[in-house]
Amino acid sequence: MTVTDTTRSAAPVLPAERGRLSAAVLRALRGGPAPDPAGVTATDPYGDDLQLALYLLYELHYRGFEGVDEALEWDPGLLAFRAAAEERFLAALRADAGPAVSVEEAVDALLVEPVGDDGHSVSHHLKDGGELWKLREYAALRSLYHLKEADPHLWVVPRLRGRAKAAMVAIEFDEFGGGRADRVHARLFAELMADLGLDATYGRYLDAAPAPALATVNQMSLFGLHRRLRGALVGHFATVEITSPPGSRRLSQALRKAGAGPAARRFYDEHVEADAVHEQVVRRDVVGGLLEDEPDLAPDVAFGIRSTGLLEGRLGEHLLTAWRADRTALREPLGA
Given 3-state DSSP classes, what are the helix, strand and coil percentages for the chain, each rounded to the nearest 5?
A: 70, 0, 30
Comparing CA positions, the residue from 90, 318, 110, 30 lying closest to residue 221 is 90
Contact 275, 252 (CB under 8 A): no
251-285 exposure pattern, b = at least 16 Cβ within 10 A, e = fewer = bbbbbbbbebeebbbbbbbbbbebbbebbebbbeb
Q: For residue 253, give Cα distances in angstroms to 19, 196, 245, 258, 261.
A: 39, 15, 12, 9, 12
pTM here? 0.94
Q: Which residue ranges form the domains of the chain, and what is each CATH number?
A: 5-96 (no CATH), 103-324 (1.20.910.10)
pLDDT at 100: 87
What tens digit of pLDDT does each residue of 280-332 get? 899 999 999 999 999 999 999 999 999 999 999 999 999 999 999 999 999 99
Distance CA 30, CA 266 (A): 39
In angstroms and rounded to an integer, the radius of gyration of the C-alpha atoms of the chain is: 19
pLDDT at 197: 96
* Ranges in the chain, pLDDT < 70: 1-9, 114-118, 274-276, 336
What tens digit of pLDDT does each residue of 237-262 get? 999 999 988 999 999 999 999 999 99
pLDDT at 118: 64
Residue 151's Cβ-side half-sphere holds a number of Cα atoms within 13 Å equal to 17
Distance CA 303, CA 100 (A): 7
Three-state DSSP class for residue 60:
coil
Comparing CA positions, the residue from 56, 7, 11, 15 lying closest to residue 35 is 56
Please report, as a single letter, which amino acid is at residue 132: L
